Amino acid sequence: MNESDKSYRVDGLYGILDLVDIDTLRRIFEKFTEATGFTIGFLDHPEMNILISSGWRRICTELHRSHPDSLENCLRSNKHLLNQLDDPSKVIVEACDNGLVDCAIPIIIDGKHIASLATGQLFLEKPDMEKFRKQAIAFGFEQEEYLEEVRNIPVISEDYLKKVTDFLGEIAQNISEQGYINLTMKKEAFLLEEEVARRKLVEKGLIQSEEKYRFLVENMTDAIWTVDLEFTINYVSNSIQKILGYTPDEIKQIPPEKLIEDDSLRYLRDLLTERVVGERALGIINDQTVVVEIQEFCKDGTLKWVECTLKPIRGSSDEIVGVFGVSRDISLRKKAEDERSVLQGRLTMAQKMESLGRLAGGVAHDFNNLLTVIQGHSEIALEELSPDDKFYNSFHQIHKAAGDSASLTHQLLAFARKQVVQSKVLDLNETVESMLKMLTRLIGEHIELVWKPNSSLWPSRVDPRQIDQILANLCVNSRDSITGIGRIIIETKNVTMDRDFCHTRGFGVPGDYVVLSVIDDGCGIEEKDIKHVFEPFFTTKEADFGTGLGLATVYGIAKQNSGFADLVSTVGKGTCFNVYLPRSVDEEVERQPTSSTELPRGHGETIFLVEDENVVLETTRILLEKLGYKVLAAGLPRDAIRFIKSFDGEIHLLLTDLIMPEMNGRELGALLARIKPDMKYLYMSGYSADIIAGHDVSKAGMLFLQKPFSIRELAGKVKEALEKESL
């Protein structure tokens, strides 16, 4: 169909066959012809296709339309006739080019002329037979036959024709009206079909969209849910099972109090109440989302951290009727944050210890030299005075204060891991057993001391003096935690730590360890304090009762020996401190000399004393002479070298400061060994371990005396050095 044809169709779509019941019209027209003898033609427009032909004359159907010229007359006449029909009430009556009279009435629907109703093939007056004879000759028809057909055509009056056409006009009007009704119905049906089609498309799109989002919701790791104002679950996606272990049906049956941890539920309810009350008071709608972190109970009873993104659900009046939420499992993130916090805490503690260590190490040398002088001269005075002397107690207090100050310095250096270490391969059981009497006196008679050694304990390399410090500090700490009668257990054991063990505990390096444990049944330590107990100067004791360095010292000694310390405590039941020291492999235990109450004295042996601090030099000289030794002294290495080159006598022992101007003690010893090859060596220093790190006093087989020292410590080390076999 071309565009010009569309212009004659209603809405460019509908022709007459689309708008009328052509079979019904055919029956009506055939009955009309039968009743009146009038022919009826029903043609579409503008194609002029004959849709209905009722009662048509033989002259037209078999004669006029059988010859090309007469057929052309028919078609031309019809076209002329029908093209004049531009008004619904218009009736055209005219003779066709073949001499017959025809009438036509338009069928107009919605302003479009889409069909024509015609009658005719008649005469309004008696025909001119001669004219038709000539026409028969012209078209080649058989004359008598043609003229007979002409005589069969009715002749009617114009009045009668008008009555018939008026009637047909009403029929045409009815056809037009019915066509319009049908057109309206078709339009409505078309619109309905379009709406149905549109809705089907929309519905299909919604179904696809729903399927897509349902797929996303049911397969995403985050859980989507809605609750009412009481936090009762209305909907939850399947993903909740991955987070909490419950199926959606199971979790809907659980009240919020059983699902959400108390503080978290209280926080959520306060948050919702604040939003609802705030909106009512201000009259402002606030749809801002809120992100919170809460704890919820899993199906197995454990608590899990969940991040919830919350948005209010509103009713028809814009009031808040519930909450829409998206929950995400953040337990791994929280665990990482906790681990990071622990590491940060350890780093902070390490930084504190490093800072304090620098401070302690910075003053250790000068302070230890001063204490050596104070402690030495107070001991000399006490030896000279009778206990009944009025000055004896004063010197005793001076000596005690110097000892306490020296102990404090040792503790500062110990927790800062800057204590000078003279490590040995020990059987820890032997070391502990040698201290039991002292520890029993230290903790008091009201506390039972129980010793539980491991019979197959591995050896460990450590400075025995540091074991003394560890046990003394831990036992004093346990003693102070016990009110009245109590018990302290000291035990040893072997432990092998693998990676899982270290990961579970959050510290340590895999390997074999000897564990020294001190267990008490005291008051225990509160959870909030446990993470601080190894920090320097942290204490829960009353003011002026404890320095806060005891446990920090234990921790520092453990770390200095490549070990570590931890504790387990329950308030009201007691505490267990564990010190882990690495196992010593392929090394024999070094047996410690039996201690004696008698002060070791010399027998006139010559000791060459080299010390750059004059007051320390003089104090040490006096102490050595009181112990029965002959003392030669020099203040600087160059003086010592010059003197020994000119001295022909025997020198049994070189006692020299390790850190001095010009050269250190080991370098001085190496030079003097060329002159006096049989001379023994003993080194001393008040510096911290990091300063003398290049002069390893344990692994090089050197004997070392830490300042400040008592006359007993000096006597013991000198005797040990003199009896030591030459290297």
Bridge pairing between strands 574-582 and 606-610: unpaired
What's the CATH architecture for 223-329? 2-Layer Sandwich (3.30)
Return the closest-CA partner of residue 67 out of 142, 153, 122. Answer: 142
pLDDT tens per residue across span 671-703: 998 999 999 989 988 765 555 555 445 445 578
CA pair distance 652, 632, nearest whole angstrom = 11
- Cα–Cα distance measured from residue 416 to residue 352, given in angstroms and rounded to the nearest whole number: 9
Q: How many residues comprise the chain?
A: 727
**pLDDT given at position 688:** 58
CA 254 – CA 455 distance, rounded (Å): 55
CATH code of domain 606-723: 3.40.50.2300
DSSP H helices in 417-489: 428-433, 436-443, 464-481
Weakly modelled stretches of the chain, pLDDT under 50: 1, 3-5, 417, 543, 695-696, 698-699, 727
Residue 727: the pLDDT is: 46
Does this model's pTM top 0.75? no
Spatial neighbors of 549 by CB under 8 A, at least 6 apart, are: 408, 411, 412, 415, 536, 537
Q: Name the pairing type of β-strands 630-634 and 606-610.
A: parallel
What pLDDT score does 373 carry?
83
In this structure, CATH architecture of domain 3-188: 2-Layer Sandwich (3.30)
Please state the domain extents for the chain: 3-188, 223-329, 428-582, 606-723
> C-alpha distances in angstroms, 109 versus 18, 112, 144, 161, 170?
12, 5, 45, 25, 14
- Strands 50-54, 40-44: pairing kind: antiparallel
* Count of Cβ atoms closer than 10 Å to residue 614 Cβ: 10
Kind plus residue range of the DSSP H or E element containing 17:
helix 16-19
What does the pLDDT read at residue 599? 83
- Alpha carbons 184 and 496: distance in angstroms, whole number: 95
Tell me the per-residue pLDDT of 168-203, one tens digit each, with 9 for 90 and over.
Answer: 989 999 998 998 898 888 888 888 888 888 888 888
The answer to whether the 3-188 and 223-329 domains have the same CATH topology is yes
User: CATH 3.30.565.10: does it fit domain 428-582?
Assistant: yes
Q: What is the pLDDT of residue 3?
A: 47
